Structure 1
Amino acid sequence: MDLANLFAAFDQITEPFVLGVVLLAAIFGLFVGAVPGLSATMAVALLVPITFFMDPVPAVAMMVTATAMAITSGDIPGCLLRIPGTPSSAAYTDEAYAMTKKGLANQALGASVVFSCIGGLFGTLVLITCAPMLADLALNFSSYEFFWLVVLGLSCAIFISPASTLRGFVSLLIGLFLACVGMNNPAAFPRFTFGNDDLLNGVTLLPMMVGMFAVSEVLRYATDAEQKKLVITTQVGNLFTGMWGLMRKYPKSVVRGSVLGTIVGALPGAGADIAAWMSYGVSKRFSREPEKFGTGHVEGIVEAGAANNSALAGAWIPALVFGIPGDSITAIVIGVLYMKNLAPGPLIFTNSPVEIYSVFLVFILANIIMLPLGYLAVKLARRVLNVPRNILMPLILLFCIVGTFAINNSVFDVIVMLAVGILAYLMEENSFPIAPAVLGVVLGGMLEEHFVFSMIKADGNLLMFFSRPIACTLGIFALLIWIFPLCRGAYRMTTQKQEIQP
């Protein structure tokens, strides 16, 4: 690293205008992330017109900061109201809300903010030091590797399910079915539309997510007498109390979440959403207390929170080195880079070193200011707990309707939200978890796309899915995950029969 370029980059990001842009972008990102139905991608997209009038460094700094803040603040409504602010927060929304009902909202929100910061800094360090190497690894992923990666992601649905494996699998199938609706498939063939043109675009993720988490909660409150008596009296104090203790208790979770988030983020098309789901599932799989997951256990939040923001930095690795977007956010950023005459690719490190170092420093700055600004955002949001629930629930339903309509200016999205909310309510009333269904919708399209492309390349030969070293390793690992519970169940049934027989 050239120190002269590094000092020049430091001078650029410490200019008052750039610091002001970073601060305003941080506040904007916190607001967008905390509003259910809005996403970090939407935050970046809304900022693109403003970048037309900016130099490259403040333009990129604005988008980096808004993204990091939106991903983190998405945990706030998830924890306090069981309504994830962003799709990546949905992975551990139930866990965080369970902690709030137990009076541990302070710990849940503190873990989210602190370990998001740690994960973001780790991902940035990897971005600075290992970008070319990890980008080469990402380029080795063909449709075969991506197929097995998605299968592993879907396997997390079984791990994260607090109910039985069978119920989690059924919920996953419901999500995969919803992902089949519309023309979003390799053949662009309309499926399960029943002649309704509004279903041609499929079931949109954000209305579905708002319906499953928010509308179902409103219905539960309206029909359950115990919910009406429930009073949450949690006082959100110092978020940082006990965080050092969590760091000492779960060091492997922090490292594992940061590493997995960075690797998944570096894979084109993956992003923070998949990283959060996979990290939460891995956390439960390797936890010493897996039975506590789903009851208000902070371990999963620690690991998935670290994965969230480390994936953001990881997604920039293929974007900068090869111009391949790691997620939807970097796809937008790449367009802005081209507009600012900063063509992504291997030469960007030699042609524009100062600007690249500025991006690295902005990542560090954004994750550092996440601590004080996240603290202030939680302090303001905690007032939600003081609102009587008979007033709060109708307001939540109103905001869900308005927010869902605003996404595409579509009344049909509101209908989808309400219908899916009723479905989620019925599922939970019968002990079917909804998190696997959300994961099925998120990954269903990718699963089909990579399977079809792989089958075309393999000319129908299934053995080609194991023909490449990385694909073979991922495939064997995925099959073992699915086969092991079946073998264990068969072994238990055989043992029980032998015990019954005299």
Structure 2
Amino acid sequence: MNAFIDAYFLVFNLETLLVIVASSIFGLFVGALPGLTATMATALLVPLTFYMSPIPAIAAIISSTAMAITAGDLPGTLLRIPGTPASAAYVEDSYRMAQKGQAGLAIGIGVIGSVLGGLFGFVFLMFTAPALAKFALGFSSFEYFWLAVLGLSCAALISSGGVAKGALSLLLGLMISQVGVDPLTGTPRFTFGVSELTGGISFIPAMIGMFALAEVMRTGRRFRLDIPQANVRNPFKGVMACLWKYRKNQVRGSIIGSLIGALPGVGGDLAAWVTYSLAKKTSKNPELFGKGHPEGLVEAGATNNAALSASWIPAMVFGIPGDAVTAIAVGVLVMKGMEPGPQLLTTNPQNFYAVMLVFVIANILMLPLGYVAARSARWIFEVPRALLNAAILLFCVVGSYSINNTMFGVTVMLVLGVMAFFMEKSGFAMAPVILGIVLGPLVEQNFTTSMIITNGNVFGLFERPIAAVLGVASIAVWGLFIFGAARKTFKPKALAGQVM
């Protein structure tokens, strides 16, 4: 109790509260700009944390990240340019809702759903941090391999272009992820003598190119957005009724997001894909997904911030970051003398509880700031499309260049953007490509590690209980889809034979 009171005074002082508000506004601004990401917002704040006390410094990272991830849904809804790989899972639904005149509803679901998911993640983190972190550390390369495979399967099977094209898109993403140095032997792969390729292809320039640049190329001939402005003036209208209607999805998305977010090295991107896929499989109207249906948006949106909160479990308790943002945050913790680890909960519990309180404040701030951002977003409808495209291209170049401060990122963005434009014209989905790039290294690293442990015995992937469950689930998912596809293929022929 004394630790919690000390944490209260660490957070509720003028310096910390001003930092939280300013960082939230900054994260909202960066996250809402096409081509800029939550990771970038966090990285830009790091130099400023040098001059802050420990709690305000970590509060700046938490606030900007939470707000930037939520704000990343704005360009996804209005421009079909997702702010994060996680929001790519449901960008088609939010964009189609905007085209139906429900832009305000889609944005409101994202904001309020994220707030509820984030608060759930906070409660989850508060009571289960030590136990869940200990459980997460029990995961080996076998479990992580099957978990990544399951996430990749979801991406391929729920893509809008169909299973075959989704699988091909996924394979393309996995192929791109192989570019660089082999993690086992250190041998360059597919670098063709280009030194920049030895570091691999970053998913951020790839995502910017495949969504932002491809969208500019696709809509470049139109001068204004073809999205009705209905309900943007009152973005929260009808949101609570929609969330209540899909309350089971909201709760399930929050729970799954918290569980997957707590796994070291996984983060929330995979969780959003899993929950969106689960929402589609259990929905009474799966055919509406990808056409402006809010059900998947509610579940995956709740997953985002719940996973963000839970990703701090391995970061705070064991110093193992769950994603790029928490990796930056761990660096800030170390720099400020708040060494993450089990001792944080024993010797300095007030610091742990202070971080928890910052989560609550940042999530509550999303409501007023998200409302203002949604209301302000309507001005984008007044901008001629030609000027908007020019601004988007500028942000694309800046965002791609800033990854490594070289023009190589811009080149990657241009090449993959043009490729994505022609792939979309042929009916291929882009989201599985991005997830393949993100999770490809995770699949490869854990598979090779597992094969070394089992001396090349593939059946060793099923020896551990949790790994066996995940492996059987992954195989069953593909088996059911292959069986369903075969049944649809051969059924008409059988009927035709009976008629003859």
Q: 1:386 to 1:188 in 2, by over 3 A?
A: farther
Q: Comparing 194-203 with 312-321, which one deviates more in the overlay?
A: 194-203
Structure 2 matches for 1:142-221, cutoff 5 A?
Answer: 142-183=140-181, 185-221=183-219
- 1:42 maps to 40
- 1:404 maps to 400
Residue type of the partner of 2:394?
L
- 1:19 maps to 17
- 8 Å contact 2:224–2:381 — kept in the other structure? no
- 2:226 maps to 231
Secondary structure of 2:441's aligned partner: helix
Residue type of the partner of 1:262?
S
- 2:298 maps to 302
Match 2:317 to one of 318, 321, 331: 321
Aligned mates of 1:66, 1:453 — CA distance in 2: 35
Aligned mates of 1:37, 1:407 — CA distance in 2: 11
- 1:472 maps to 468
Aligned mates of 2:435, 2:491 — CA distance in 1: 34
Residue type of the partner of 2:382?
N
- 1:29 maps to 27
Q: Deviations over 1:163-212 (max 9, x none)?
A: 22111111111111111112264333222222222222222211111111
- 8 Å contact 1:43–1:67 — kept in the other structure? yes
- 8 Å contact 2:254–2:306 — kept in the other structure? yes
Q: Comparing 301-310 with 41-50, which one deviates more in the overlay?
A: 41-50
| 1:228 Cα offset (Å) | 5.8
| 1:468 Cα offset (Å) | 0.6
Aligned mates of 1:247, 1:9 — CA distance in 2: 33
Structure 2 matches for 1:126-145, cutoff 5 A?
Answer: 126-145=124-143
Q: Does 1:374 align with 2:332?
A: no
Secondary structure of 2:81's aligned partner: coil
| 1:230 Cα offset (Å) | 6.0
- 1:454 maps to 450
Residue type of the partner of 2:98?
T
Aligned mates of 2:201, 2:253 — CA distance in 1: 30
Q: Does 1:413 align with 2:409?
A: yes
Secondary structure of 1:193's aligned partner: coil
Residue type of the partner of 1:336?
V
- 1:257 maps to 253
- 8 Å contact 1:428–1:434 — kept in the other structure? yes
- 2:329 maps to 333
| 1:352 Cα offset (Å) | 0.9
Q: 1:425 to 1:137 in 2, by over 3 A?
A: same
Aligned mates of 2:337, 2:220 — CA distance in 1: 55
Aligned mates of 2:318, 2:388 — CA distance in 1: 48
Q: 1:120 to 1:30 in 2, by over 3 A?
A: same
Structure 2 matches for 1:36-185, cutoff 5 A?
Answer: 36-183=34-181, 185=183
Q: Comparing 464-473 with 296-305, which one deviates more in the overlay?
A: 296-305
| 1:354 Cα offset (Å) | 1.6
| 1:476 Cα offset (Å) | 0.5
Secondary structure of 1:407's aligned partner: coil
Secondary structure of 2:292's aligned partner: coil
| 1:494 Cα offset (Å) | 4.3
Match 1:490 to one of 473, 486, 496: 486
Aligned mates of 1:395, 1:40 — CA distance in 2: 19
- 8 Å contact 2:156–2:169 — kept in the other structure? no
Q: Deviations over 1:409-445 (max 9, x none)?
A: 2222222211111111111111111111111111111
- 8 Å contact 2:176–2:201 — kept in the other structure? yes
Residue type of the partner of 1:483?
G
Residue type of the partner of 1:153?
G
Residue type of the partner of 2:447?
F
- 8 Å contact 1:150–1:447 — kept in the other structure? yes
Aligned mates of 1:201, 1:32 — CA distance in 2: 26
Secondary structure of 2:345's aligned partner: helix
Aligned mates of 2:215, 2:334 — CA distance in 1: 44
Aligned mates of 1:138, 1:319 — CA distance in 2: 12
Secondary structure of 1:68's aligned partner: helix
Q: Comparing 30-39 with 434-443, which one deviates more in the overlay?
A: 30-39
Q: For the aligned residues, what is the CA RMSD?
A: 1.7
Aligned mates of 1:270, 1:166 — CA distance in 2: 26
- 8 Å contact 2:157–2:167 — kept in the other structure? no
| 1:498 Cα offset (Å) | 3.0
- Please, which runs of 5 or more residues in structure 1 have no aligned partner? none
Identity rate, percent: 50
Aligned mates of 1:207, 1:326 — CA distance in 2: 21
Number of aligned residues: 497
Aligned mates of 2:150, 2:388 — CA distance in 1: 38
Residue type of the partner of 1:41?
T
- 8 Å contact 1:33–1:86 — kept in the other structure? no
- 8 Å contact 2:172–2:433 — kept in the other structure? yes
Aligned mates of 2:243, 2:99 — CA distance in 1: 23
Aligned mates of 1:334, 1:395 — CA distance in 2: 34
- 8 Å contact 1:34–1:75 — kept in the other structure? yes
Q: Deviations over 1:461-487 (max 9, x none)?
A: 111101111101101111100111112
- 8 Å contact 1:233–1:386 — kept in the other structure? no
Aligned mates of 1:412, 1:337 — CA distance in 2: 32
Aligned mates of 1:349, 1:419 — CA distance in 2: 48
Q: Deviations over 1:143-163 (max 9, x none)?
A: 000000000110111333112
Residue type of the partner of 2:412?
V
